[in-house]
């Protein structure tokens, strides 16, 4: 698969949006199917995956999609680029910076499981 540069990060020209593995387009597939689809995309040259902490059944949970993506990428996480979105709500002491740092630390834990 062809690649492109996002400044100094090389990614596949075609990325995989992972939202539908948790909500959005009808029935949510079984986790096994979702993991298999992500791994097949990687095996066919995809190195750019998009997720978000809010992607979950009925948008009722946090991290559902990120957990699926994390499980799927186990063993080759360092070979791909992840894009994720987070919600900035209820900002307390430390504001945006602290919230983003906290989110990134949580995501780091998910993808290193």
Residues with a known catalytic role: 55
Query: How far is Cα of residue 21 from the mean position of the Cα atoms in its chain?
Result: 11
Q: In whole angstroms, what is the distance from residue 62 CA to residue 64 CA?
A: 6
Other Cβ atoms within 10 Å of 82 Cβ, number: 17
Q: In whole angstroms, what is the distance from residue 110 CA to residue 14 CA?
A: 24
Sign of the C-alpha dihedral computed for residues 75, 87, 32 and 13 taken in this order: negative
Cβ atoms of 111 and 68 within 8 Å: the answer is no
């Amino acid at each position: 698969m062809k690649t492109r540069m996002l400044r100094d990060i090389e990614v596949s020209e075609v990325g995989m949006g992972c939202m539908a593995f948790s909500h959005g387009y009808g029935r949510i597939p079984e986790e096994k199917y979702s993991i298999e689809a992500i791994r097949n995309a990687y095996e066919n040259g995809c190195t750019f995956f998009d997720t978000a902490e809010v992607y979950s059944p009925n948008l009722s949970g946090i991290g559902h999609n990120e957990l699926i993506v994390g499980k799927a990428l186990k063993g080759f996480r360092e070979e791909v680029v992840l894009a994720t979105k987070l919600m900035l709500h209820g900002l307390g002491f430390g504001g945006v910076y602290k919230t983003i740092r906290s989110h990134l630390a949580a995501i780091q834990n998910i993808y290193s499981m």
